[in-house]
Structure 1
Amino acid sequence: MELDLIRLPNGVRVALDPMPELGTAALGVWQRVGARWEPAEINGIAHLFEHMAFKGAGSRDARQFAEAIENVGGVVNAATSYERTAYYARVVAEHAPFALDLIADILFEPHWAPDDLEKEKGVVAQERGEGFDVPDDRVFELHQGALYPDQPLGRPILGEEETLAHVSVETLHAFHDAHMAPERIVISIAGAFDRDAFVETAARRFAHLKPRPPLLMTPARPAAGRAVETRKLEQAHLVFSWPGAAAGSDRIYALRLLSEIFGGGMSSRLFQEVREQRGLVYAIDSFLDTFEDDGRLAIYAGCAPQNATTVAEIVRDQLALLAQQGPRPEELERAKAVARAQMLMGLEAPSARAEARVGQVFLRDRLMDFSEIRAKLDAVTADDVRAAARAALAGPLCATALGPKAGHGALDAFKASS
C-alpha cells in the first residue's frame, strides 16, 4: 500500500498515508471553514459549532458517543482555527472505519438542543476568560487584532459574548449547510489501516454531498499595527511580526530557515544574545504564522519590563543584520539539519503526518513526498535567507506589548527605526 490521494466523484478528497509498521491510525475530517468565513455579528460560531460536536450524534447521545469511542480504546477530539476545523481520532488499526463513521455522525447527524447550546456558550465564556488570564495567550490575540483590523482574521476565534448571544440552533444549521461542501472537505489517515474498508466508509458517508457555489473569503490586509494593554504583571510580553509568505508558497522554505537562525532554538542569534549572553529574557522564540494568502515572521519575548526596550532593539538589529549580511555558512547548515530532523520526527508521528497531508491537499491539491520537501529545504542558499529578511523588513511591522507601562517603550524602538 502506497501514499495515495483518492477523489470521490463529488470532489471530497481522501489522503491515505500508510505506516504498516504501526498498530494504530490517526485519522480525521478537515473542513475549510473557520473564523475567516464568519459574519462579524456571529463571530465565534465556527468554534462554538465544534464545541457542539460532542453533544451526541447519530443514534447516540453524548454519553453513548463518548462510550462508543472509548469502548474500542480510541480518543476523538476537534479543533478550530481561522481557516480550518478538524474532527480527528486515534484508534487501533481495525477500528479506523468505525472512528470515521463516528466523525461523520458529528457532521451529518448532530444533536443540537437549545439547552445544550446555552451551556456551551457558558463553557466558551470560561475558555475565553482563561485565555484572557494567560498573558502569553492574550498578547497574541491583541497582536492578531492589531495586524488585521476590521477584518475576519483580526477577530478572536472564540468570539465575544455579544456575538455568540445571537447564535441559535437555527444559526448553527444555516452555518453548517453553507459550508458543508465536498470541495471544502479533506479526509486524512496515517498509520496502519485497511485501505479498502476506509475508502468504502468515506464514500458511503461523504459521497452524497452536493457541490455548492464557492464562498468568498475576505483577503488578508495586514497593517502596520500597534497595540498595548496595561496589566499588573511581573513580566512584559512582546510580540513583533513582519511580512512572511502564504502557506502554499515556496518562499516558505527560506523563511523557515531564517526563523530558525533568527530565534528558533538555543543556538539561534536571539537566544544566544538576549538570553545566554545578556540574561534579558526568560523566553524568546521566532516562528512562522501562515494563512492561505498571507504569512508572518514573528517573535515572542517575555522579559522584565525594564528590559523590554533593550530586547526590542536587539531583535530589530539582529534581523537587520541578517538582511544585510545573510547567515554564516555554519548557521545555514545547522538550520537545515534542524529542519530535516524535525521533519523526520514528524514522519514518525501518524497524527502529524495526517495533518500535514491535509495542508498539502488544501494548498496544492496534491500530496508531496517528504523527499521533495527536503530537497526544497536543501536548495535554500544564504542569499535566499538574506532576501527573506530584506523582504520582511520592507513590509509593515506589527508590534504588541502587554504588561506594566514600563515595558511599552519596546514598541517605540521599532517606531524610531522605521
Structure 2
Amino acid sequence: MTVLPNKLRVVTENSYGHFSSLGVYIDAGSRYESARMSGVSHMLDRMAFKSTESCSAAEMSSAVDSLGGQIVCSSSRESMMYQSSHFNSATPLAMSLMADTVRRPLYLSEEVNMQRDAAAYEIREINTKPEMILPEILHQVAYQSNTIGNPLLCPEDRLAHIDGNLLREFSQTWFRPDRIVIAGAGLSHEELVELADKHFGDLKAPPALEPSQAAKNVLPHLLSPTHIPSPSLYKSLTTAATAFLSPKPIAEPSFSTLASAKARYTGGHLFLHRPDEEFNHVYIAFEGFPINNDDIYTLATIQMLLGGGGSFSAGGPGKGMYSRLYTHVLNHHAQIDHCSAFHHIYSDTSLFGIVGTSYPSMGPDGLVPIMIHQLALLAHGDIPAPELSRAKNQLMSSLVMALESRAVEVEDLGRQVLVHGRKISVQEMCAKVEKVSAADVRRVADEVFGTAARTQPTVLIMGREDAPDWKRSFRQYGVGRDE
C-alpha cells in the first residue's frame, strides 16, 4: 500500500493472468445523506460513465466498450464503487475513464432527466419483488431516522429534486482523497501508483463549509414506523422512507456531523397489510457486531448453522442441505416456502436474523414461533461437534472460493482498506473461524438474540394478517430482551 501526499491510498494484490481488475472505492453512501440529499447516492450510481469535461456520452460509451471487459458503478449504504475488469494493457484507459466520471462529470440536464425516469422504473420493479424491497424496509425499521436506516434507493418523491447541482455538491463534499482507496489486482503496484498520482494526485479536500441558506429548510427526518399508514407504505420504497415524516423541518447537518454519526439501532415492529400477496413474509432481526469485532466470525458461523433456503432446491452435498433451517423447518413444514438466515455487516453495527415465507394456510402467527424456536435452540442448547465443524468448513470454503473471482478479489481489497485501513487475509479470516467453539456460539447467540440480548428485536411482517402475539412467542422461547 502506498499513501499519496493528499492521503489517498493505493493498494494492490499480487495475482497473475490475462485480465486485471481496478477499482476506486469511496467512503460515501446513503448513510451519509442528509434529508436534503436523500437518494443522491443512487442517482450518482446511475449517472456514472456519462458526459464529462473530457468526452461526450457517446465517446465515453465507445471507450468503455473498447476495454473488452466490464466497467461498473454501484452504491451501497457505506460506499461508492467504480470498478473495471479488463485486459492488462487497458489499465491506463480504465483508470482514465473512472477518474473522468468521478472527478469531471457534467451532469447534463437531459442525462439527469433520463436517469430519473430509469430510476423510477427501477424502483417500481423492485417494489413488485418482496424479497428485494423488504430487506430495505427492514433496515429503515431497525435503524429509524439514522445512518443505516437511510433509504438505499432514491425515494420517488425525491427524484424530481435531484439535479446536477445537488449531485455535484454531494460528490464534491464526500469524494475527498482521504476517503478514497484505489485498488488493483493483476497489475504492478508501481504502475497503479503512477496512474493514481496522475489522475487523483491533485485532488484536495474542500474547505469546511457551513450549510447554505437554501439548505436550512429541508425534508424532515423519519419518525417511528408505528406512524406509517401501512397500505401506502408498500407502494414503494419511497413511501416507506417518507411516510415517517415529521411535520417540523430540521437544519442541514454539517459534514463532520454526518461523517462521524454512529449507527443507532432502534428495533421495532411493522406490519404491511397486503391481502393480495401470494405469501406471508416475516423478518426477525437483531443488532449484531460491527465489522471490526472478532465475534462477527462466530455470528457468521451461526448464520451457516442456520443456513436454509427455498423449499425446492437442486442442492446436494455441499449445498447447505444439512443446515438447521432445512432439516428442522423446511423438511417438516410443507406450508413454509422459504426460510433462511441473513447477516448484513457494517462498519459500526450489523443486522442478523431469519426470514420466513409461508403459504396463506400458515399465517404469521404460526410462522413466527417456528422461526423463534430455531434461535432459541442456538442460544440455549448445545451444538454437536460434527455440526459445528461442518458449518465452519462451509464458511471457510465460501470465503476462499469467492476470492477466485478477480473482480471479487479487488473489491474485497478496496473495501477492506477503506474500512480497516489494511487487508485482512483470507488465511487470517479462516484462522479466526477455525477457533470458533461451541461455547462461543452459545455465548454470542445469547448476546445477540438470547435473554442477554442488548437490543429489542426488529419484526417486519407483510401479508394478509399480522402476528399480534409475537412478543409472547419471544418470551415463551427465551429469545430477545424482555421489557
Matching residue's letter, 2:33: E
- Counterparts in 2 of 1:152-191, with a 5 A limit? 152-190=147-185
- Of the candidates 209, 218, 226, which is equivalent to residue 269 of structure 2? 226
- Cα distance in structure 1, aligned partners of 2:464 and 2:475: 21
SS of the aligned residue for 1:57 comes to: coil
Given that residues 49 and 97 in structure 2 are in contact (C-alpha distance below 8 angstroms), is that contact kept between their aligned partners in structure 1? no
- Cα distance in structure 2, aligned partners of 1:366 and 1:106: 26
Matching residue's letter, 2:407: S
Alignment correspondent of 1:134 = 129
- Counterparts in 2 of 1:74-223, with a 5 A limit? 74-190=69-185, 192-211=186-205, 215=256, 216-223=259-266
Matching residue's letter, 2:163: S
- Cα distance in structure 2, aligned partners of 1:328 and 1:410: 32
- Counterparts in 2 of 1:336-375, with a 5 A limit? 336-375=392-431
Given that residues 42 and 166 in structure 1 are in contact (C-alpha distance below 8 angstroms), is that contact kept between their aligned partners in structure 2? no
- How far 1:95 sits from its partner (Å)? 1.2
Task: Classify 1:119/1:72 alpha carbon distance in 2 versus 1 (closer, same or farther; 3 Å).
Answer: closer
The yes-or-no answer on 1:246 pairing with 2:240 is: no
Deviations 1:185-220 (A, max 9, x none): 111122x22433222111111111224567334321
- Cα distance in structure 2, aligned partners of 1:322 and 1:65: 53
Unaligned stretches of 5+ residues in structure 1: none
Alignment correspondent of 2:68 = 73
Task: Classify 1:408/1:303 alpha carbon distance in 2 versus 1 (closer, same or farther; 3 Å).
Answer: same
The range that moved more, 356-365 or 121-130, is: 356-365
- Counterparts in 2 of 1:279-294, with a 5 A limit? 279-294=334-349
Given that residues 52 and 105 in structure 2 are in contact (C-alpha distance below 8 angstroms), is that contact kept between their aligned partners in structure 1? yes
- Cα distance in structure 2, aligned partners of 1:279 and 1:226: 27
- Cα distance in structure 2, aligned partners of 1:171 and 1:224: 32
TM-score (normalizing by structure 1): 0.93
Alignment correspondent of 1:401 = 461
Greater share of residues in helix? 1
- How far 1:58 sits from its partner (Å)? 4.2
- Cα distance in structure 2, aligned partners of 1:410 and 1:26: 51
Given that residues 310 and 410 in structure 1 are in contact (C-alpha distance below 8 angstroms), is that contact kept between their aligned partners in structure 2? no
Given that residues 37 and 217 in structure 1 are in contact (C-alpha distance below 8 angstroms), is that contact kept between their aligned partners in structure 2? no
Alignment correspondent of 2:432 = 376
- Cα distance in structure 1, aligned partners of 2:161 and 2:172: 18
SS of the aligned residue for 2:418 comes to: helix
The range that moved more, 210-219 or 298-307, is: 210-219
Task: Classify 1:324/1:415 alpha carbon distance in 2 versus 1 (closer, same or farther; 3 Å).
Answer: closer
- How far 1:155 sits from its partner (Å)? 2.7
Deviations 1:302-353 (A, max 9, x none): 2113323333212211211211124211111001110121122122111111
CA RMSD, Structure 1 to Structure 2 (Å): 1.9
- Cα distance in structure 1, aligned partners of 2:390 and 2:340: 17
Identity %: 27
The yes-or-no answer on 1:45 pairing with 2:31 is: no
- How far 1:263 sits from its partner (Å)? 2.6
- How far 1:414 sits from its partner (Å)? 4.4
Alignment correspondent of 2:13 = 17
Alignment correspondent of 1:315 = 371
Alignment correspondent of 2:4 = 8
Greater relative contact order (Cα < 8 A, sep 6+): 1
- Cα distance in structure 1, aligned partners of 2:382 and 2:183: 39
Matching residue's letter, 1:250: D
- Of the candidates 346, 361, 381, which is equivalent to residue 306 of structure 1? 361
Deviations 1:160-208 (A, max 9, x none): 2332332221112211111121111111122x22433222111111111
- Of the candidates 49, 56, 71, which is equivalent to residue 54 of structure 1? 49
Unaligned stretches of 5+ residues in structure 2: 209-254, 309-319, 477-481
Task: Classify 1:328/1:200 alpha carbon distance in 2 versus 1 (closer, same or farther; 3 Å).
Answer: same
- Cα distance in structure 2, aligned partners of 1:295 and 1:137: 18
Given that residues 238 and 402 in structure 1 are in contact (C-alpha distance below 8 angstroms), is that contact kept between their aligned partners in structure 2? yes
Given that residues 274 and 280 in structure 1 are in contact (C-alpha distance below 8 angstroms), is that contact kept between their aligned partners in structure 2? no
- Cα distance in structure 1, aligned partners of 2:360 and 2:442: 31
- Cα distance in structure 2, aligned partners of 1:109 and 1:54: 10
Given that residues 288 and 350 in structure 2 are in contact (C-alpha distance below 8 angstroms), is that contact kept between their aligned partners in structure 1? yes
Given that residues 143 and 267 in structure 2 are in contact (C-alpha distance below 8 angstroms), is that contact kept between their aligned partners in structure 1? no
Tell me how many residue pairs correspond in the alignment.
411
Task: Classify 1:58/1:76 alpha carbon distance in 2 versus 1 (closer, same or farther; 3 Å).
Answer: farther
Deviations 1:59-106 (A, max 9, x none): 222222121121131211111111101111110122122211110010
- Cα distance in structure 1, aligned partners of 2:370 and 2:345: 25
SS of the aligned residue for 2:48 comes to: helix
- Cα distance in structure 2, aligned partners of 1:263 and 1:340: 14
- Cα distance in structure 2, aligned partners of 1:109 and 1:414: 55
- Cα distance in structure 1, aligned partners of 2:262 and 2:106: 34
Matching residue's letter, 1:313: P
Task: Classify 1:362/1:410 alpha carbon distance in 2 versus 1 (closer, same or farther; 3 Å).
Answer: farther
Matching residue's letter, 1:402: M
Task: Classify 1:303/1:409 alpha carbon distance in 2 versus 1 (closer, same or farther; 3 Å).
Answer: farther
Alignment correspondent of 1:237 = 281
- Of the candidates 269, 274, 290, which is equivalent to residue 324 of structure 2? 269
